[in-house]
A and B are shown apart, each in its own frame.
Chain A
């Protein structure tokens, strides 16, 4: 309401990136479970270090598969997680609304995973964890929001699923390493192509000379 009464100014030129993690954890409920409720899963948005994100997130809308009633769930308090039981995998939509009304919500699509990949024997103790690191990039955020974002999280939030969360601290370096290797490999491949290209040029020159010689003789 405040936003509509006094137009807030955007902080020109400012860019803030906030790391978050979108994920889902699914427990198999064992062989005796109801076939329609074979798994209990939790989808969530969390801070990359389990920090409390409610300092800039007002609420999160979870849009489930149509077979769930209601298919839209709103979570207004941290931790922003939603637990359900079901039997199938689908693409979950998580829409994040920010404390500042001026900022449009962001929509994340999360593929819910219930079964281990690659396929193996399910066990009730070992959950299927599917997490994606994500960064929310705020360009020219409203002044107030910028101040909030700069201040950062005030506390962490504890949940019982915490022990299954993945650690992304080394991932960036690993991914960069992989990309670097891949680029090197591509570069060497291109070099190989260039090598062959030069060979062809040489061979071609010789053949053209030969053809010229032969056609003159005829």
Chain B
């Protein structure tokens, strides 16, 4: 430290040395020096312009190598360090020399404590006395106490448990008042009462740490990957929730977000539950009569209609309200509408909107009828295969129409199972 100060006064040739000096100089003495040297070094002025009075004739203070006073230690150990000669040395070491306040029991108290505080009868009075002595001697450093403990059977947790349960009981029965005299004791007692020592928890905690420490590289990698996956799943979940919100907002598009009723409208459209239908039909013969091929959707439930409520809205918003939940249906519907020459946005007058909605329902029913027909075709095909087996003939080939639709169906099966899986997550 002193060395750097001398360097400092010797003058500066290069910028590097300035940096070095200022860096050290800052920590040692008045920071003004460091700051101004940097200023000087970075500026181009040849003549140093320094405010008057910055450098005074004040002498540099002297530093002495001397022992510091240490009142708390009894062994008269002397510790030396550098100190300023013009400052009075204070006893700063004793600030670190704290000793724990250990509550001690009397004979009568021990009786009470023994009966109530600890139901562990394996502790004798002598052992407890020894424990408290060691606690005082080593300032509650239980690892050291455990090391000095003569009996192999006691674990570290046992020692801690014994000490803290007795100390806690003592704090309870003595009832410290928060007076100035024993405010430290009062705080300590409060802490003892508020945080009872849980030996069992402590044991399990250490067990777990031990296990984590013993993990092999492979196991560790596995655990890390599990955690990563869990995080990924969590992130996915959040992203999906966000996406859902966005879609809901889109559905309620067109300024209608302000009207809660219209938002409800979009959600209150009842969509046919295709999945349920499919699963119930999968195992038995689809009893689809001629009539039910096409009247699955009527205009009662599943129809974008605006619930009547006061306010203003743009008519085209009804045109944009999707009529089906299934993304695939929506996409197909859009393709259909373009193909049929209607387009996605006919002129939104009252009659057109009404007709357009009917058209979309018709298309949806057509999709449904098509699906039912494909099921029938499959059924028929399976019967034909059965018949050819009975006759001992070659099984007939799958009709082209089914070969194509089976691919599509697989597609939907995948998406539904995928959806189910995602729901589970």
Contacts and interface: CB of A to CB of B under 8 A. Distances in A.
Interface of A: 10, 17, 19, 95, 98, 103-109, 132-141, 168, 171-172, 175-176, 178-183, 185-187, 189-190, 193-194, 196-198, 200-201, 203-204, 207-208, 210-211, 214-215, 218
B93 interface: no
Contacts of A196: 373
Contacts of A210: 387
A211 B348 contact: no
Given A176-B352, A214-B390, A139 B359 contact: no
Given A186-B363, A190-B293, A10 B342 contact: no
Contact of A139 (B311, B362, B363): B311
B304 to A, nearest CB: 14
Interface in B89-136: none
A193 B349 CA distance: 32
Contacts of B384: 207
A207 B380 contact: yes
A124 to B, nearest CB: 29
Interface residues of B, number: 52
B39 to A, nearest CB: 41
A183 B386 contact: no
Contacts of A204: 376, 379-380, 383
- The 4 A-B pairs at the shortest CB distance, nearest first, are namely A107-B255, A140-B310, A182-B340, A135-B315
Given A134-B315, A137-B315, A172-B352, 14 more contacts: A104-B255, A105-B255, A108-B254, A132-B345, A135-B349, A139-B312, A140-B311, A175-B346, A179-B346, A183-B359, A190-B294, A190-B362, A204-B380, A214-B391
Contacts of B380: 200, 203-204, 207
A97 B37 CA distance: 65
Q: Is the interface of B mostly helix, strand, loop or mixed?
A: helix
Given A106-B255, A185-B340, A200-B376, A137 B312 contact: yes
Given A109-B254, A194-B290, A197-B290, A139 B346 contact: no
A179 B352 contact: yes
